[in-house]
């Protein structure tokens, strides 16, 4: 018996299965006619593009007159099995499209987040590639550095800072260029003639602390009226402290005691100020000179790190030209006889090698400067004197003392303007400086000066009204 061949309807039925590559073998007679296929049940799908193997058209059995026979169609073979999965996924997506989904997919395709978008050359499921490392330029580093400190700068500018050049109505304002320097005999002169036990006690007082000395008050004045002077100093400093910090804590001012008691010949003039806020101390020490109608004082740090610049005073020149005197001093220090002695003095203060010693001597000679003092004798005759200043290359106390002693004994000749020799220095009774006598003190010439004048002296008590000879020679303790 000849096997029955599947009908065209059977073949079409198999083509609608999801996997056309595995058709079932026919197991029964073909089912045809209106019983199995009512009219218009199977419509030709023009959009169907499912490829199938081309099967030869078998001979169709005779159908009833009223049963439409499907027209056989040409079916292609499926692609290679290796591309089957990709091909089917594409066809499933296309076969389920609707107009709305097509519009959505079009929008998604044009989006910057689309996997195939050229603006982002990567797929959605792939991790983004790290950006290439950027090397910052100096300009960029500077900008970032300033931005990092922007908040701190805004905070600084939005607050009121400590005024280190404050103009208080009670005190003389700082003149242009600052107050004149008060030159001392040595760096620790403020502690001169102080009782040793008291000095050790002052060493143990906690910082902040500083030293002061009152203008126009001699060592004798301090010895006779220590409490009155100390209270006047405390009241003036309290005014400054209240300006810096409202309701500042009480300030202490300790008067000095001389070595050897009241009968000592040399008397101290320095007072210790302590129990004071750090900001107030810095303000007072930085301005240095505070002059009021009640009292004027100079504030000094509690140390002696820098040697004084004043070396000595020269007299004997017949010229007032400071340039001639400076050249004479530099020539004497630089000659072959004196310069090796200066080198030897500097070599003993710790310079590492001879080259540094020679450099120290050279810098020292180049730093020399001269100041004219307009001395006059009876009848108004001018007798010029010259203060000699220089900057020490070392803070060693013994080196500075030895150097000053050596230079002090030298003679400073000129060809046409006389020969200079060292003259004695006496402190100013008003400001305690060694650079000038009272009559040449520059402080009373300062605009709005509130302190003592050249022609008058401050009186602390009625006891100072007597016992003082007019025009008496100032002592070393003033």
Q: Where does the pLDDT of residue 113 fall: very low under 50, low under 70, confident under 90, or very high at 90 and above? A: low
pLDDT given at position 89: 44
pLDDT given at position 124: 55
Q: Which of 52-56, 171-175, 260-264 has the lowest mean pLDDT?
A: 52-56
- What is the sign of the dihedral through the CA atoms of 377, 380, 381 and 385? positive
User: What rounded mean pLDDT belongs to the chain?
Assistant: 77
Angle of helix 339-347 relative to helix 354-366, nearest 10 degrees?
120
- In sequence order, the 6+-apart residues with CB closer than 8 A to the CB of 418 are 316, 317, 318, 319
Which of 177, 170, 187, 182 is closest to 398 using CA atoms?
Answer: 187
pLDDT given at position 11: 55
Question: What is the average pLDDT across 223-251?
Answer: 90
pLDDT given at position 349: 84
pLDDT given at position 358: 94
Omega before residue 10 within 30° of 0, cis = no
Does 125 score more than 90 pLDDT? no
pLDDT given at position 477: 44
Q: Where does the pLDDT of residue 245 fall: very low under 50, low under 70, confident under 90, or very high at 90 and above? A: confident
pLDDT given at position 12: 52
Token pair in block for residue 447: 């605009």
pLDDT given at position 475: 43
Q: Where does the pLDDT of residue 105 fall: very low under 50, low under 70, confident under 90, or very high at 90 and above? A: low
Q: Where does the pLDDT of residue 305 fall: very low under 50, low under 70, confident under 90, or very high at 90 and above? A: confident
Q: Are 443 and 179 in contact (CB under 8 A)?
A: yes
Highest mean pLDDT among 58-72, 258-272, 399-413: 399-413
Does 315 score more than 80 pLDDT? yes
| Comparison of pLDDT for 26 and 238, the residue scoring more | 238
Q: How far, CA to CA in Å, does 42 sit from each of 21, 56, 66, 210, 304?
A: 21, 21, 16, 113, 116
Does 77 score more than 90 pLDDT? no
- In sequence order, the 6+-apart residues with CB closer than 8 A to the CB of 440 are 373, 374, 375, 428
Q: How far, CA to CA in Å, does 167 sit from each of 62, 179, 281?
A: 127, 14, 16
Q: Where does the pLDDT of residue 135 fall: very low under 50, low under 70, confident under 90, or very high at 90 and above? A: confident
What is the CB neighbour count within 10 angstroms for residue 372? 15
Q: Where does the pLDDT of residue 476 fall: very low under 50, low under 70, confident under 90, or very high at 90 and above? A: very low
Burial class (CB in 10 A: 0-12, 13-18, 19+), 3: exposed
pLDDT given at position 211: 96
Q: Which of 90-104, 316-330, 402-416, 426-440 has the lowest mean pLDDT?
A: 90-104
Token pair in block for residue 315: 């007299």
**What residues pair up with 270 in beta bridges, in sequence order?**
213
Which of 190, 234, 268, 247 is closest to 433 using CA atoms?
Answer: 190
Question: What is the average pLDDT across 417-424?
Answer: 94
Does 49 score more than 60 pLDDT? no
pLDDT given at position 302: 94
| Comparison of pLDDT for 164 and 146, the residue scoring more | 146
Give Cα 247 distance to the centre of its chain: 31
Q: Where does the pLDDT of residue 116 fall: very low under 50, low under 70, confident under 90, or very high at 90 and above? A: low
Q: Is 372 helix (H, G, I), strand (E, B) or coil?
A: strand
Q: How many Å apart are CA 429 and CA 291, to the nearest integer?
A: 16
pLDDT given at position 334: 96
């Amino acid at each position: 018996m000849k096997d029955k061949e599947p009908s065209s309807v059977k073949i079409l039925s198999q083509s609608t299965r999801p996997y056309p590559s595995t058709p079932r073998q026919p197991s029964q007679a073909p089912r045809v006619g209106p019983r199995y296929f009512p009219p218009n049940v199977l419509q030709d799908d023009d959009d169907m593009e499912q490829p199938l193997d081309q099967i030869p058209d078998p001979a169709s059995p005779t159908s009833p007159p009223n049963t439409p026979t499907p027209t056989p169609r040409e079916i292609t073979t499926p692609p290679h099995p290796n591309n089957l999965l990709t091909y089917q996924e594409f066809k499933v997506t296309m076969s389920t499209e609707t107009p709305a989904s097509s519009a959505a997919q079009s929008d998604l395709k044009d989006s910057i987040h689309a996997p195939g978008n050229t603006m982002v050359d990567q797929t959605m499921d792939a991790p983004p590639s790290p950006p290439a490392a950027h090397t910052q330029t100096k300009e960029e580093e500077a900008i970032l550095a300033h931005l990092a400190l922007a908040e701190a700068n805004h905070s600084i500018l939005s607050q009121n800072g400590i005024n280190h050049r404050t103009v208080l109505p009670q005190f003389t304002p700082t003149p242009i260029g600052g107050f004149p320097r008060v030159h001392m005999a040595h760096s620790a002169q403020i502690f001169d003639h102080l009782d040793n036990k008291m000095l050790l006690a002052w060493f143990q007082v906690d910082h902040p602390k500083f030293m002061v000395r009152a203008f126009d008050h001699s060592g004798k004045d301090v010895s006779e009226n220590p409490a009155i002077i100390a209270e006047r100093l405390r009241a003036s400093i309290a005014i400054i402290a209240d300006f810096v910090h409202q309701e500042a804590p009480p300030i202490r001012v300790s008067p000095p005691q001389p070595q050897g008691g009241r009968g000592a010949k040399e008397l101290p003039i320095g007072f210790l100020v302590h129990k004071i806020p750090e900001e107030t101390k810095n303000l007072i020490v930085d301005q240095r000179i505070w002059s009021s109608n009640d009292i004027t004082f100079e504030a000094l740090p509690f140390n002696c790190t820098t040697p004084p610049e004043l070396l000595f005073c020269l007299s004997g020149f017949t010229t007032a030209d400071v340039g001639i005197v400076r050249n004479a001093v530099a020539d004497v220090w630089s000659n072959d006889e004196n310069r090796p002695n200066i080198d030897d003095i500097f070599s003993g203060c710790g310079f590492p090698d001879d080259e540094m010693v020679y450099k120290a001597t050279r810098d020292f000679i180049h730093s020399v400067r001269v100041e004219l003092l307009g001395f006059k004798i009876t009848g108004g005759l001018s007798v010029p004197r010259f203060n000699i200043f220089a900057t020490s290359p070392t803070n060693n106390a013994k080196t500075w003392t030895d150097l000053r002693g050596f230079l002090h004994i030298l003679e400073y000749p000129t060809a046409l303007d006389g020969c200079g020799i060292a003259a004695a220095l006496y402190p100013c009774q008003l400001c305690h400086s060694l650079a000038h006598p009272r009559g040449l003190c520059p402080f009373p010439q300062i605009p709005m000066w509130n302190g003592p004048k050249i022609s008058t002296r401050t009186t602390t008590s009625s006891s100072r009204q007597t016992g003082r000879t007019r025009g008496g020679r100032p002592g070393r303790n003033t």
